[in-house]
Structure 1
Amino acid sequence: MSTAAAHTAPGPVPDVAEVFVFAQDEIRLAAAELWPGGRVELSSHIPSVTGYVHRIRVGGRELYAKHSFLGMSLVSILRGVAGDWAEVQRAQAAYIQRPDSLLVREAAQLRLLAGLGQPRVCEVAGLARGVLFTAPVPGPTLAALLLRDPAGTAALFEAVFADLHQLHRSRTAQRLAPAGAISERSVAATFQRKFNGISGQAYLSRLGAERCAEDERAEVTALLRAVVARLHRMRPTVLAPGQAVLTYGDLKPEHLVFPDGPGGRPVLIDPGLLRARSSVDAAKLTSRTVLLLASARPGAAAAEEIVEGLGTFAEQRMRPMAPKAARSWLRELLIVWLMDTVNILTTFLSAPEVLPLPPRGRSLVERAAVVCTMADRISTALGGGLDVHRVWGTALAQAKAVAE
C-alpha cells in the first residue's frame, strides 16, 4: 500500500503511546522467552521512524531490541495505513508467525554475513515474537569519524568498500535466496511506492502539515514536486536490466562502527541485502553523508574536506571502469542519491508530531527547504542533458552549499 494512503485511512489511527507500550511489552516477553529467569530491564528508547528500537539489559548483558510492526514504518502505522489499533494488533499476531517477516529476514541476513566473514556485522543474540536482539558494537561510528577527521573521508569510505568487495562479487549474490532479500529497503522501489500516481501527489500535498510553517511547506512541496517528476523520468535507468550484485542496501554513516578506530575494519548493523546494481551502496552512503552535512553543519572547511573525499572516493571507484561504464555508474549513483534523499526527507516530514524523530531527522526537517533546493538543482542539471561528469561537479558543489 502506498504511504500516501495513510492520509486517507478511515477511522481512528493508532495512538503513539499504545503503540510504544505494546512494543515494550513484546520486547519483555521475547526476552523472557529467550532467557528464562534472566532479569529484564529496558533502559532507553532509540528514536526511529522505521521500527521501535530500545536498549535493554538481560541478566546484566547489554543488548539492542528491535520490534517491527508488520514490516512497515512507524510513520505508516501511526498514520493508519494498516488500520486502527485493533486491526494492527490482530495483523501483528499473525505477522510474527510468518517465516518471511522483516526481522526474520534481517536476522538471517546477519547470520549469512557472519558466515561470509566480510563485511563484519553485529552479533545476533536472539529472535522471538518478532523481536530481534543484537549485541552492541563499541566504538565511533563513521558519522562521528567524518566530523572528527574530515580529511580522512576518502580513506574511510575505501575501508568500508574494501570490506564490501566479497559481497559485491557476482557469484556471492547466489548465497541469498530471492525470498531472503529485504526489498522494503530498496531505494528505487521505495521511491516508486511513495510517489506513484494520484496517491503520490496527495502524499506530497500533505507533507509537513505537523512539522513545518505554512509558507515553508509551500516552498518545500513545490520543489519536491519538480524533483519527483524529474526522477520519475529518470527512474528506468536504475531499474534497467543489468548485472546485479548483492548490495548491503542500507549503508548509513550511523550504521558503520569502527571498534578498532579509523584504521581498523568497520562493523555494520541493520542490513538490507538485495540484488541491485553495484552503484546502490555508494549512492546510499553518499546520500546519507550529504544529509549528515546538512544536519550537522560542521563548518565550511570541514564540509569541503568531506565533499572532496566523496569526490575522490567516486573517482577511485570509476578508475578501473571503461569510460561508458563509468558514466553509467555515475549517473546511477546520482539518481539513487536523489531518490534516497527525497525518500528519507519526506518520511521525516510526514511523521506525526507525536513521533520522536532521531536528532538528525529534526535538523533535516528544519532545513527541508535547503535540502530540497539542493535536490532541485542537481536533478535539473542531471535532466538537462549535460555530461554526467559535469553534473557530478555541480552535485558536489551543492553538497558543500547545503552544509552552510
Structure 2
Amino acid sequence: MKLQRTAGASNKPELVRLAHAWGLLGPCHPASDHVPPSQSPPRYADLVALAEDQIRQACRELWPEQDCSLLSAIPSSTGIVRKVRIGKQQYAATCDLLAAPLAELLLGIHGSKDCIRAQMDAYLPSPHAQACIQERQQHLLAEGGLPVPTAAVAAGVLFTSWTSSPTASDLLKSDPARAMAVMTHALSLLPSVLTDKLMHNARDMVMACPITQGLRRLQPSTPWAAALADSAASRLHPRLAQLIATSAQDLLPKVVRLSHQRRPVYGALQPDHIVCPDPGSAPMLLSPALHYGAPGGDVARLISRTTLEVLAGPRLLAVPVTHCLRKLVSASIMRVTPTQRGAWLYDLLQLWFADTLITVATSMISLAGMPPSQPHQSIKEHLVRVQALLAALRHALTMRDPQRAWLSALHQVDSLTHVLPDPRPRTDTAAPSSLSPAQPHLASARREHR
C-alpha cells in the first residue's frame, strides 16, 4: 500500500504524521492548483539550515533560561546531528527531518525544500515522530536495566547526553581485543532486556525492520537504484554495482520472511554505537531501533559492521577480530535449540549479507555537499575488498552446510585484507587466475591492481 502525498493540497496533518512514521509515503506529486515556489531537490545546506532552526527551537523549549550554542557537526546518513552546549552541559542533538535518510531527501523523493518544510511542520510535533519514538525506547530500555544515555525530546529533536568515552569502533584500531570484549559484553546484555514484556510495552513505538527497508530502496526503478547506477563509484566498479542490484532483488523476499519471526531486535548494534566504559562498567548502547525480526538479527548487524571496519583496517587487525567473531557466534548459537542451529546460522549469513549490501550501496551514493560519515568514507576507499567480500557471502549462501558456509565467509575476511587499497580499474582483459568459486571478484581486483 502506498499513500500519495500532494504538495500544497489539504493534507490532513495526522495522516501525514502517521504515514511518515510508518514509512508509507511515496514520491511527492505537486498539486495542480498550488505548486510551491520550487520543485527542485533541496541542497544539503538547505537541510542543515532547516535542522539547525529546529534544534534552536527545541533548545528554547527545553531550556528557556539557558544559553544554547551549536558546536561541531557529526556526519550522519540518517539525520542532521550537532553537538550542542546548554549552559555547562553538552548534548548530541539529532534532527531526522522526515524520518527519511538524507540521501532520499537530496534525491528529491520528498519534494523541494519548501515541501519538506511544510511536511516537517506536521510531522515533527507528532508523538509518532522518530525522535519521540527513540526517546521513549531509551527510557524503556533504561528501565529494563540496559545502559543507555539520558534523553530528552522537543520539537522533533532528540537530545542525548554527550560522552567523550571511545566507542568500540575507535578501539578496534588501537586495542582490538578490548573492543571485541566490549562488543561481546554489549551483546550479552540484550537477551535479558529484550523480552516479550518489554516489546508489549513498546508496542506503539516498534519500528520497521531497517534491513527490509534498505533492500526495498535498492529494487529496480527506484530513485536509490538510479542514484547508485549513476554514482562515480559504480562507474569505477561496475561489477560491484551489478552485484548489489542483483543480490538486493534476490535477498528481499527472503529477508521479508525472516522479519515475520517476531523476535525482539535492538536494531542498531554496531561498533560506533557501543560506548566503551571505564574498566568494570557495562558498555553504553546508542541509537536503539527496536523492531521485530529474525533471531540473530543483532549478531548479524554487529558482524556486518565489524567486518567492514576490518576490511578498511591494517592486515594485523583481521585475525584477532575474526577469531573473536567465531567465539561470539559459538556462544550465541548455544542459546538456540540443537535442531534449529543450522537454520539460525543460515539466517545469520543472509542478514549479514543484506546489511553489508545496504551499507555499501549507501556509501557509494555520493550527493553534492553531503559529508560522508567515517565508516562510509572507509568503505569507499576499499571497494575492491568490499566487492570480494560480497561475492564471498553470496557464494557462501549457495552451500548446503551452514557451518561450512559460515566458516568460509569468515575465512574470506581474513584473506581479503591482503588485497591492497583500491586503484582505478584497468580495462585489460587478462584471463582470470585459478580461484575458488567464492573469489571471482577477488581475481578481478588483483588484475585491476596490476
More displaced, 69-78 or 319-328? 319-328
Contact 1:167 1:173 (8 Å CA) reproduced: no
User: CA separation in 1, counterparts of 2:230 and 2:180?
Assistant: 39
Letter in 2 for 1:390: R
Is 1:386–2:400 an aligned residue pair? yes
User: CA separation in 1, counterparts of 2:110 and 2:358?
Assistant: 20
The match for 2:45 is: 17
Contact 1:45 1:53 (8 Å CA) reproduced: yes
Note the C-alpha offset of 1:291: 1.1
Letter in 1 for 2:239: E
Note the C-alpha offset of 1:48: 0.7
User: CA separation in 1, counterparts of 2:318 and 2:286?
Assistant: 26
Letter in 1 for 2:303: T
What do the CA deviations read for 1:200-232 (whole angstroms, capped 9, x no partner)? Answer: 4x643541634427232x222122133224324
User: CA separation in 1, counterparts of 2:96 and 2:231?
Assistant: 24
User: CA separation in 2, counterparts of 1:229 and 1:401?
Assistant: 28
The aligned runs of 1:121-140 (5 Å cut-off) are 121-124=148-151, 126-140=152-166
Match of 1:114 among 118, 139, 142: 142
Q: Which runs of 5+ in 1 are unaligned?
A: none
The aligned runs of 1:275-286 (5 Å cut-off) are 275-286=292-303
Match of 2:245 among 215, 222, 225: 225
More displaced, 325-334 or 342-351? 342-351
The match for 1:292 is: 309
The match for 2:16 is: none
Contact 1:150 1:306 (8 Å CA) reproduced: yes
Contact 1:38 1:58 (8 Å CA) reproduced: yes
Note the C-alpha offset of 1:278: 2.3
Letter in 2 for 1:56: V
Instruction: Specify whether residues 252 and 93 from structure 1 end up closer, same or farther in structure 2 by C-alpha distance, changes over 3 A only.
Output: same
Contact 2:123 2:129 (8 Å CA) reproduced: yes
The aligned runs of 1:298-313 (5 Å cut-off) are 298-299=314-315, 301-313=316-328
Match of 1:269 among 279, 282, 286: 286
Q: Secondary structure at the match of 2:72?
A: strand
Letter in 1 for 2:276: F
Q: Secondary structure at the match of 2:228?
A: coil
Is 1:348–2:363 an aligned residue pair? yes
The match for 1:188 is: 211
Letter in 2 for 1:273: L
RMSD: 2.5
Contact 1:47 1:358 (8 Å CA) reproduced: yes
Q: Which runs of 5+ in 2 are unaligned?
A: 3-22, 31-37, 419-450
What do the CA deviations read for 1:152-206 (whole angstroms, capped 9, x no partner)? Answer: 46533331122112123344332211x30122xx23322342134x424x64354
Aligned length, in residue pairs: 389
Match of 2:332 among 311, 314, 317: 317
User: CA separation in 1, counterparts of 2:179 and 2:402?
Assistant: 23
User: CA separation in 1, counterparts of 2:256 and 2:329?
Assistant: 22
Letter in 1 for 2:174: R
Match of 1:330 among 308, 327, 345: 345
What do the CA deviations read for 1:302-348 (whole angstroms, capped 9, x no partner)? Answer: 21110111011101111243333111111111111111111121122
The match for 2:6 is: none
The match for 2:124 is: 96
State the percentage of identical aligned residues: 26
The match for 1:163 is: 189
What do the CA deviations read for 1:30-87 (whole angstroms, capped 9, x no partner)? Answer: 1012111311111100011111000000112111111011111111111111001110
Kindly name which structure, 1 or 2, has the bigger radius of gyration based on alpha carbons: 2
User: CA separation in 2, counterparts of 1:320 and 1:17?
Assistant: 48
Q: Secondary structure at the match of 2:372?
A: coil
User: CA separation in 1, counterparts of 2:382 and 2:56?
Assistant: 38
Is 1:257–2:278 an aligned residue pair? no
